[in-house]
Amino acid sequence: MATEVDPVCGMQVETEGAQLVSEYDGKTYYFCGKGCKLDFDEDPKRYLDPSYQPSM
């Protein structure tokens, strides 16, 4: 199964059938929970900054 990393917390998320997703700058991002998705949607640049360190 394909997985992606939740950009907010760093958890592995299965992409197949995922419901918590966001599109940003032409790419799809996957989230483990609603809170991570909401945080990302508020400020995607923060979580995509190379200096950001995800933490659970």
Which domain covers residue 11, as residue numbers?
1-27+43-56
The percent of the chain in helix, strand and coil, each rounded to the nearest 5, is 25, 25, 50
Q: Is residue 50 part of a domain?
A: yes
**Which pLDDT score is estimated for 27?**
97
pTM of the shown model: 0.92
Which pLDDT tens digit goes with each residue over 22-50?
999 999 999 999 999 999 999 999 999 99
Q: Is residue 56 part of a domain?
A: yes
Task: Answer for the pair 30, 1: CB distance below 8 angstroms, yes or no.
Answer: no
Q: Is residue 37 part of a domain?
A: no
Q: Is residue 34 part of a domain?
A: no
How many whole angstroms separate alpha carbon 16 and alpha carbon 55?
24
Q: What is the CA radius of gyration of the chain?
A: 10
Q: Is residue 15 part of a domain?
A: yes
Count of domains in the chain?
Answer: 1
